[in-house]
Amino acid sequence: MNYYEPLTYVVPPEEDGAMLKTILRDRMQLSRKLLSRLKLTPEGITVSGERRYTSSRVKAGDVVEIRMAEEESEDILPQELPLHILHEDRHLLIVNKPAGMIVHPTHGHYVNTLANAVVYHWLARGEKIRFRPVHRLDQETSGVLCIAKNPYAHQHISEQMQAGGVEKSYLAVVRGRVERDAGTIDAPIDRDPESPHVRIVTPGGYRSVTHYETIERFGTEASLVRLRLETGRTHQIRVHMKDIGHPLVGDSMYGTGEDRIDGENGSVKTVGGVSLGRQALHAFMLAFAHPLDRHPVSFEAPLPADMSGLLDRLRQRLCE
């Protein structure tokens, strides 16, 4: 059996005589699920090179190591595709996902996904790793996406997300002039009973909170806003911005149905004379505590060319 590089903890003098279980849970912060899994893994838990029961006690200077068995996504076809890597270490892969790319293969979409590209990247380096995205981005949303390279990393970042310790910030171009400089949208979201793939704001829905800040206004046509998610519901930003009367430019599901604003003869058909062909939403920043040392890390993805071009055109129109 092959293993990922072990995680190590050296027992300090003040923890001499502590139970191994305490070290694993409180110091190495293993979840019950992962701990149970490691107990069944040969060489999964060792103390100074020897397998030990978790009920045994350790002494100062002991080296506690955990080893996770290598895994791979056998159901994902490796495919050589462009991959914009922002950061990679033995625990994490941070990528800048392009608009139009699905994160994980689904029925009818078995290739040309981010998973296909990532699995190819790892296999080309001789690494067998299971594809574990910590979160998702809609197909037409671009930006920062975090992929855990082992169960330990996935567990820690998932727990941070559940506790509200992960900061996710987005940039969006929305229709109309957002008058408030900043605000919070606290409106519950759930599935539309008439269209289950669509989400709506409804009193009986799940608590959903989005904070926004208006960065730039382009007359009455559009506004650039920065958004921070306090909760992470499906389509949350798109649903919330529609709810306050400012749907995202190019959003075919939650928008006004117009692909453009400002067309010929002054009719309302295009935004800035540019049609994106997708919702103008970009996940530009992701921040959390690294699972290895708990130090804060932050990753940013530059604004893609289509959204940058839209903003340039809107600014130009203000000067015309």
| Stretch (H or E) spanning 239 | helix 236-243
**What gap in Å lies between CA 113 and CA 104, rounded to an integer?**
6
Q: In what order do the strands lie in the sheet with 45-47?
A: 7-10, 63-66, 45-47, 50-51
**What gap in Å lies between CA 24 and CA 32, rounded to an integer?**
10
Assess contact for 242 and 253: CB atoms under 8 A.
no
Helices 151-162 and 32-39 pack at an angle, to 10 degrees, of 170
Question: How far is residue 111 from each of residues 69, 71, 80, 96, 117, measured CA to CA in Å?
Answer: 27, 20, 10, 18, 9
Q: Angle 8-10-12 (CA atoms, 0-180°, nearest 5)?
A: 155
Tokens representing residue 305 in the block: 């060319």
Torsion of CA 264, 266, 272, 276, to 10 degrees: -50
Strand, coil or helix: what is 190?
Answer: strand
Sign of CA dihedral 167, 173, 175, 178: positive
Write down the catalytic residue from 138, 251, 262, 306.
Answer: 138
Assess contact for 262 and 221: CB atoms under 8 A.
yes
Count of H helices and E strands in the chain?
6, 16
Residues in the chain: 320
Nearest to 131 by CA among 141, 119, 142: 119
Asked about 138 being catalytic, the answer comes back as yes
Nearest to 231 by CA among 213, 255, 205, 251: 205
The residues that are catalytic are 138
